Amino acid sequence: MKGGLTDAPDADLPRDRRTNRRSFTDEEKLAIVIETDEPGVSVAEVCRRHGIVTSMLFCWRVQLGFAQKRVNLATVAMPASGAGASSVPLVLHDLLQPPDGMTAIDLPDGRRVFAPAGSDPVLVRRHIINGEAAQ
């Protein structure tokens, strides 16, 4: 009588029984990571296509030096401090342009709002100030 536990190991069986485990060469890892750097491509989409989990892809990004995202930053000059310095917070008005059909109106406290083109700035300011006072 043969029992499964007492039989001699079969030489044809693989030692590692995790047959679903895949391995990728460095070139394959690099190609997959580069796919995620394309604009408009989601990491989840690339992972599904290659049958890997997102955590694996992010590990590869770190290993291959892709962990840091390149960011374009705007240069900001800080206002002078001391006598004569304004207490109004620094606002970067030029970063956000008004949508089509709208115009930008600056409020006395330094904020900017968008109103339909042709709106009277005085009336818009008054409407906002009165609305905020009523709250």
For the stretch 15-46, pLDDT in tens is 555 566 778 898 899 899 888 888 888 889 99
Q: Is residue 92 within 8 Å of residue 112, measured between CB atoms?
A: no
- Confidence grade of residue 11 (pLDDT, cut at 50, 70, 90): low
Asked whether residue 123 is assigned to any structural domain, the reply reads yes
Which of residues 63, 81, 108 is at a domain's end?
Answer: 63
Structure-model confidence comparison of residues 94 and 131, the more confident one: 131
Q: Tell me, what's the pLDDT at 13?
A: 55
Domain assignment of residue 115, given as a range: 96-134
Token pair 């796919």 is found at 35
Measured CA to CA in angstroms, residue 123 lies from 47, 60, 71, 111, 132 at distances of: 54, 57, 40, 16, 14
Q: Tell me, what's the pLDDT at 20?
A: 67
Measured CA to CA in angstroms, residue 80 lies from 73, 93, 94 at distances of: 21, 18, 20
- Confidence grade of residue 47 (pLDDT, cut at 50, 70, 90): very high
Structure tokens at 68: 């840091």
Q: Do strands 112-116 and 102-106 pair parallel, antiparallel, or not at all (unpaired)?
A: antiparallel
Q: Is residue 124 within 8 Å of residue 130, measured between CB atoms?
A: no
How many domains is the chain partitioned into structurally? Answer: 2
Q: Tell me, what's the pLDDT at 48?
A: 93
Quick one: what percent of the chain has pLDDT higher than 90? 19
When mean pLDDT is compared across 6-10, 18-22, 47-51, 73-77, the lowest value belongs to 6-10
Which of residues 40, 63, 86 is at a domain's end?
Answer: 63
